Amino acid sequence: MTGTEPRMTVRPLGKATGIEVTDVGLGLWAVAGSEWGPAEDQASLDAIEVALDAGITFFDTADVYGEGHSEELLGLAMKGRREKFIVASKIGWTGFDREANHSQYDTVEKLVAGVEGSLRRLDTDFLDVIQCHINYLEPNTDVFIEGFQALRSAGKVRAWGVSTSDFDLVRHFNAAGDCSVLQIDYSILNRTAEREILPYCAANGIGVIVRGPLAMGILAGKYGAADTFPEGDFRANWINAPEQNEQYRRDLAVVEGLRAVVPDGQSMAEFALRFVRSNPAVSTVIPGARDGRQSAANAAAGLAPLLSAEEQAAVDRLVPPGGGRKIWPA
């Protein structure tokens, strides 16, 4: 080490939170027991370790990922070194009553108890960030807001927000001006957040966590129309569900166009992450990684320069600003 090696950019996460995060983090959905097909715990732990060694500080999970297993693995990885991690989790989908169309968290007490369950699985006294995982207005929305405010007052969370692409829900969470964080799907294939939500967040000091920057792997450039996915992987619907298959084929056409845009020696995944990092409203982007190799590649993208004006213009010709498509899953 010479002391001159490039370092990841650190950005503030929202207004008045006092939290700074690397602009590339790690999303921890794809663990054993989740909807991403077979996975090994050691591979997930390796992904966390490689990310940490590369300088990544921000790790995002949820109570529903692997029915809590993702939180447990992150807790195991943090043991004895909690201070190295900025930890975000989400709550809302566990126990969701789809027939009645509302969450189980219909009182502040239940919501607080649910977050305390996450704290136990993570083996920590506090969360840096907690987010409502339900992505549209529903009867219990205000319970989440009141519960998060209570948790912050009690010192159990440092900041709170919502994970959604619904502009009305973003504004509802920020009605009192104290929502600090938004998590949103944003990528070259889905630029819809540029229309209203990202400008609103920038104007209101809301930190933006970007999920789906690689569009569930499509923007890694490794899939084709003839590919299949294993049992238990939700991406099988891209092949089997007619509407999703039509969109998948349109996405693959954009990917083909991108091949001429990506600089020599750079992967399409790295280019896709550079695109997201280049938006000034974005605080951090959280690509997933199933093992240390993928984690290392994601981390390397955090050291690359932002898009040049010429590269941005080339992307704009393929997918216009504010353009995009429906997200699966939402």
Give the residue numbers marked as catalytic: 65
Rounded CA-CA distance 294/308 in Å is 25
8 Å CB contact between 72 and 34: no
What is the per-residue DSSP string for 124-190?
Answer: -S-EEEEEE---S--TTHHHHHHHHHHHHHTTSEEEEEEE-S-HHHHHHHTTTS---EEEEE-SSS-
Rounded to a whole number, what is the distance in angstroms from the first to the last CA of the chain? 43
Q: Distance from CA of residue 292 to its chain's centroid?
A: 18
Rounded CA-CA distance 296/302 in Å is 10
Q: Does the N-terminal peptide bond of residue 329 adopt cis geometry, omega within 30 degrees of 0?
A: yes
Pairing of strands 20-22, 127-132: unpaired
69-78 and 108-122 are packed helices; what angle lies between their axes, rounded to 10 degrees?
50
